Structure 1
């Protein structure tokens, strides 16, 4: 089985566990007044799990490929050294660092840093465009979450 099917199989297993949690464990502790609502807190996880199961099943069963394609697979797991692993692993590490720095560094600093460093890792070299765009986008998202949705996000580090 090709590498893409193995990855889809792992996603399928995770999605089945997520679907079980969404359908059978999330709604049991709802207060009575919320049980009459048409949309519950578990509605989005239910839809997301069904979509993930469907997409991963399509890949595992090979339905996305044309029946006459006998060429070699797009990703050859025996030649992983030929791919750009350093930027991919750097982005994964950057995502972990972003998650860990979100509270202590604040949303604005952590998110703009993640966007700028991530774009540089991916090859962007026009810093005079990148830095203002990342900062404006971060500020816009913070404004929407804070003011429009009413969800508090610490904008700056805790010592300010």
Structure 2
């Protein structure tokens, strides 16, 4: 069996376990007044598990196959790809996740956007920095003020 079918089989098992949890274990602990709602907290996990199972079955049954083509990523030519950029971006994502609480949302998100665009090759700092800061503040405002979800904007020692 091909690698994509093995991965689809594993994903099918994960989606089935996720679906079982969504259909049978999540709804049991609902409060009585929530059982009359049309949308429950388990609605999205149910839909997501069904979509995952359908996609996995399509790959397992080979319905997505067309004519055979050459592989897009050749593992023998791995050194020709921009592997350094990918590893640096993954490291930056880990650093962002670790710094989000201690450094605050504004510093960590704007730093992630600035350094990420620098890694990807952007060198126009006069455009990169204002766009990153504007995007960070817009997202923070929407989440904090519009949705009402608290995000620590600054580090604790700066009053965040």
TM-score bucket of the superposed structures, by smaller chain: 0.7 to 0.9
CA distance in 1, matches of 2:106, 2:151: 9
Match of 1:98 among 72, 96, 99: 96
Q: Which structure's CA Rg is the greater one?
A: 2
- Equivalenced residue count is 158
1:73/1:3 Cα in 2 relative to 1: closer, same or farther (>3 Å)? farther
1:57/1:133 Cα in 2 relative to 1: closer, same or farther (>3 Å)? farther
CA contact (8 A) 1:4 1:75 kept: no
* Pairs within 5 Å for 1:103-142: 103-142=101-140
CA distance in 2, matches of 1:27, 1:39: 11
Structure with more relative contact order (C-alpha pairs < 8 Å, separation 6 or more): 1
Q: Does 1:38 align with 2:45?
A: no
TM-score, structure 1 normalization: 0.81
1:128/1:64 Cα in 2 relative to 1: closer, same or farther (>3 Å)? farther
- Structure 2 counterpart of 1:74: 72
Root-mean-square deviation (CA, aligned residues, Å) is: 2.4
CA contact (8 A) 1:3 1:77 kept: no
1:130/1:7 Cα in 2 relative to 1: closer, same or farther (>3 Å)? farther
CA distance in 1, matches of 2:77, 2:12: 25
- Structure 1 counterpart of 2:20: 20
TM-score, structure 2 normalization: 0.81
**Unmatched runs of 5 consecutive residues or more in structure 1:** none
- Structure 1 counterpart of 2:29: 29
- Structure 2 counterpart of 1:86: 84
